[in-house]
Amino acid sequence: MEPVQPTVSIVGAGPAGFALAADLQSSGKNVLVYSHPTHLRHAKSVLGNGGRLQVTGAINGFATLRITCNIEEAITFSKVMILTVPSTGQETVLQELKRFDLRRHTIIAVPGNLFSLIAGMDVGCILETNLSPYSCRMDDGDLIVLGKKSRILIAPLRRDLSPAIYNAVRNIFPVELRWCSSVIEVCLSNVNGVFHPLMMLMNAGRIENTAGDFLLYRDGLTNSVANAMLAVDRVRIRIGNSFGLHLESAVGISNECYGQGFANLVDLAQNSPPHNKLKAPGDLENRNISEDVPDLLVCWYSLAVKLGIDASPIQAVIILVEMATGVSYLESGRNLRKLNLEGISRSELVERFRRKRRVSNERKALTIVSRL
């Protein structure tokens, strides 16, 4: 009998979703990509080519992708759905998903940015990762994969993840997974919140003057920018400490995910191939601000306030971004109200997400396999 091909629905038809789809297909998975019907910016050209997509860089070749704009088709296609929309698009997707019974589905948000706390629906299992496995861009309808991470961080919302789901998720992802103690640890490990907003803010004049005609990391992450990032990073690590976590520095997490060994932020900016060729965006209306400020910095800041941690470096970044853009991110972003954490006390918050000693899912799964 032919082995059954695992199926995966990918919700989000941008470079990150396409890279994952192409990579999964090349390893024998059966993939369907869903694009929201009003968000066809990238899907349009691929659909126009009959689903054919040229991929260059860290992944190479042609992929023929199956794409749908019908969410019901994506739900029926697979019990495993990977969300690759930016976190700013998760609410829109949730409105679509909420019309269906997903109690037997597993949803993995890549990246999550605490998607599981805003989901507000009964799903079999929700997991989230800290980053996308790929650094990638669309260029004239082609996909360029600048880098593929060797590892990303992941956690389920509920700690009682069954070994069957654990194994299914581990077998689907084309990169190594480090299982974290909670979705809070995963969110604190999305180091884009440390890198992106400050690089944008501290280079705002240059971005607007040149319409982004410079290399964001290589030219824009200098010593003083790195110093400001380190101040934000220290707050992030202190928030982690309150939950019993010993988080790596931002450069440490980036090193872990890309399998690199850079000594510091400037070293990474100068020498990391997936970073040092990235052009700056043409203006400040970019997800380096519009995603990472409301869905990471506001979230970290709100947690810090609840925990009684001085988060003035993060607050300073948010306020400056609000002054520069006129957008009230503290109000619209993932504050405690949006995360459904407003009513709980500091100790309840810590208890809910604290690192606990437990038998790891990996050990549980291995025990079960060895008993078979």
Check if the beta carbon of residue 325 is closer than 8 Å to that of residue 289.
yes
291 binds ligand NAP (CB under 6 A): yes
135 vs 181, which CB is nearer to ligand NAP?
135
Minimum separation from the CB atom of position 87 to ligand NAP (A):
6
60 or 241: whose CB is closer to ligand NAP?
60
**Which residue in the set 111, 197, 220, 294 belongs to the binding site for ligand NAP (CB under 6 A)?**
111
Q: Is residue 108 a contact point for ligand NAP (CB under 6 A)?
A: no
How far apart, in whole angstroms, are the C-alpha atoms of residue 132 and residue 59? Answer: 15
29 in contact with ligand NAP (CB under 6 A)? no
Is the bond preceding residue 37 a cis peptide, omega within 30 degrees? no
* Window contacting ligand NAP (CB under 6 A); options: 132-140, 202-210, 243-251, 321-329: 132-140
Q: What distance in Å separates the CA atoms of residue 97 and residue 184, rounded to the nearest whole number?
A: 23
Residue appearing with tokens 């990246």: 111
Q: How many residues does the chain have?
A: 372
8-state DSSP, 281: P
* Class of residue 141 by CB neighbours under 10 A (exposed 0-12, middle 13-18, buried 19+): middle
Among 20, 21, 42, 112, binds ligand NAP (CB under 6 A): 42
Task: Confirm or reject binding of residue 68 to ligand NAP (CB under 6 A).
Answer: no
Name the minimum Å distance from CB 92 to ligand NAP.
3
Please tell me whether residue 56 binds ligand NAP under the rule CB under 6 A: no
Task: Give the count of beta carbons closer than 10 Å to the beta carbon of residue 213.
Answer: 11
Q: Give, in degrees to the nearest 5, the angle at Cα 177 between 179 and 166.
A: 65
Binder among 67, 125, 136, 169 for ligand NAP (CB under 6 A): 136
Placement of tokens 């040229």 in the chain? 54
- Is residue 275 at the binding interface for ligand NAP, with CB under 6 A as the rule? no
One-letter amino acid for residue 266 of the chain: V
- Rule CB under 6 A: say whether 106 interacts with ligand NAP: no
The 233-272 contact track toward ligand NAP, x by CB under 6 A, reads ----------------------------------------
Is there binding between residue 193 and ligand NAP (CB under 6 A)?
no
Is residue 51 within the footprint of ligand NAP (CB under 6 A)? Answer: no
Strand-pair category, 30-34 with 7-11: parallel
Torsional class of 113: left (φ above 0), alpha (ψ -120 to 50), beta (otherwise): left
Residue with tokens 């038998």: 359
- Please, what is the minimum distance in Å from the beta carbon of residue 43 to ligand NAP? 6
36 binds ligand NAP (CB under 6 A): yes
Stretch 74-103: interaction string toward ligand NAP, x if CB under 6 A: ----------xxxxxx--xx----------
CA-to-CA distance for 101 and 97, rounded, in angstroms?
Answer: 8
Task: Supply the minimum distance, in Å, between the C-beta of residue 134 and ligand NAP.
Answer: 6
Secondary structure E strands in 5-141: 7-11, 30-34, 52-57, 61-64, 67-68, 80-83, 102-109, 123-129, 134-139
The structure tokens listed for 317 are 């970044």
Q: What's the closest the beta carbon of residue 15 comes to ligand NAP, in angstroms?
A: 4
Residue 135 corresponds to which amino acid?
S
Binding of residue 35 to ligand NAP (CB under 6 A): yes
Give min distance, CB of 91 to ligand NAP, in A. Answer: 7
Q: Which stretches of the chain bind ligand NAP, using CB under 6 A?
A: 12-17, 35-36, 39-42, 84-89, 92-93, 111, 131-132, 134-136, 287, 291
